[in-house]
Homo-oligomer: A and B are copies of this chain.
Amino acid sequence: MTSSPLTAYRASFLPALEDALREAVTPWQAHPAALLFDMVEHHFGWRDAAAKKGKRVRPFLLLLVHEAAGGRWQQALPAAVAVELIHNFSLIHDDIQDRSETRRGRPTVWARWGKAQAINAGDALFAQAFAVMAPLQEAFGPQRALEAMRVLAQACVALVQGQVLDLSFETRSAVTVEEYMTMIRGKTGALLAAAAEVGALLAGAEAQRREAFRRFGETLGLAFQVWDDYLGIWGDPAKTGKSAADDLIAGKKTLPVLYGLQQPESAFARRWREGPITPDEAPQVARDLAATGARTFVREQAARLTREALAALDAAQPLPRPGEALKALAQELLGRAM
């Protein structure tokens, strides 16, 4: 039986990752503050085998890059766990900040346990991310373990800066395309960049190769976000699982909208300023938005970022089999943008 490298790596990495992730927080269960465990168990979807889990893209990327740079994935598991803990800390806090009541078909942590305790759930995952990385020194020595922590800590600062910008956009009338790209570079790019960089640095990649892997992670994240913004308005509902023009109805200031608003006299901008868009109007508003050039612009940006990501991957000179899987992962994430 042959399977693609991507499928094969998924089948070996993901179950081990899930176990390690769960192990990282299981000691909380025996503490008088076991509520902390209850909250994260619910959040991760571990309480019910049928519950929807996250896609684990960031830790999977870290492990794949580690292999692609010549490492052995099992040794890098603690770093992969740390990256996923950090991602989930940010999801739990984002849900509070955005007042989102459901995630993956379940009530969010704050919707179920209140905002105060949900803040604690996020904080505890964040702290645990740094606690679980110390054992990396056994396989990699203290220097590389410390460097991995530094890279992740700085990514967390960038992640929070992205989140600060994102929230500040909500209350501002004008946001430029450039500001938006700065925001997603923090909110989406920083942790993917760090995941790839840590995978490479733990494998002992030299500076240039490490930087190329980092750029791959970052541009992959940006390309994904821009493409997601495209699909949120012009995607095929049958393929994306969202209804077309969903983001317009939700009033989200995504990249195409910001592009369109740069032409304040366009039919799109005039309609946007009038207030919420109903599902009935949405197809026409999406056409008006395309008429500003936004659709072409966003497609081109997604295609450019995708090319940059693949060029960075080439420059990183991955080993053949994990390199093939990384390319397939990028194609899967970016779909038709390629």
Which residues of chain A have a CB within 8 Å of any CB of chain B?
28, 31-33, 35-36, 89, 93, 96-97, 115-117, 119-120, 122-124, 126-131, 134, 137, 141-143, 145-147, 149-150, 152-154, 156-157, 159-165, 167-168, 179, 182, 186
Contact = CB atoms under 8 A, between A and B. Distances in A.
Contacts of A150: 130-131, 134
A149 B134 contact: yes
A235 to B, nearest CB: 28
Contact of A145 (B123, B129, B146): B146
A128 B158 CA distance: 10
Contacts of A131: 150, 153-154, 156-157
A63 to B, nearest CB: 22
SS class, residues of chain A in contact with chain B: helix
Contacts of A122: 123
A168 B126 contact: no
Given A35-B168, A164-B33, A130 B116 contact: no
B127 A156 contact: yes
Nearest to A99: B116
B32 A179 contact: yes
Contacts of A115: 96-97, 115
A120 B36 contact: no
For A36, A157, A162, the residue with the greatest tally of chain B CB atoms inside 10 Å of its CB is A157
B32 A182 contact: yes
B119 A165 contact: no
A42 to B, nearest CB: 14
11 contacts: A31-B161, A35-B164, A36-B161, A93-B119, A120-B164, A123-B126, A124-B157, A127-B154, A127-B156, A134-B147, A142-B143
Contacts of A31: 161
A126 to B, nearest CB: 6
A33 B122 CA distance: 21
A93 B127 CA distance: 14
B119 A157 contact: no
Contacts of A160: 36, 120, 123-124, 127
Given A120-B160, A120-B167, A160-B120, A137 B126 contact: no
A156 to B, nearest CB: 3
Contacts of A165: 32-33
A168 B127 CA distance: 20
